[in-house]
Amino acid sequence: MVQNFAARQGSAFRSLALLAGGLATIAAVIVGAILAVFAAATVAVIAVMASALLAFAGFAMRARRTVRARRTDSDIIEARHQGGHHWVAYGWNERR
């Protein structure tokens, strides 16, 4: 008779534990889904920033090549230091 009474008491706690476990599982799934959305958004933001960085690097390399191509020796003038704050430049007034 005591065993039957204990079995009946355990069944009520067992059903409450099962209900609490189900609710905890649902809460864990919801939190996991929210974290997955945040992780995906983070990856997307990193991808956008990386593509912008590559675009700016490409623009910088193109500008560097353009500057190198336009520079010629005819544009360079000669300057000599005469001492103190005195410099003398040659070739700045010649037409080419």
Given a cut of 70, whether residue 96 has pLDDT beyond it is no
Q: Please, what is the Cα angle at 62 between 64 and 58, to 5 degrees?
A: 115
Q: How many domains does the chain have?
A: 1
Structure tokens at 25: 């599982």
Closest CA to 89 of 72, 76, 71: 76
Residue at 59 is within a domain: yes
Residue at 37 is within a domain: yes
Residue 47 · residue 40 · CB < 8 Å: no
pLDDT tens for 20-68 read 999 999 999 999 999 999 999 999 999 999 999 999 999 999 988 887 6
Structure tokens at 43: 């990856």
Residue at 96 is within a domain: no
Q: How far apart are the first and last CA of the chain?
A: 119
pTM over cut 0.85: no
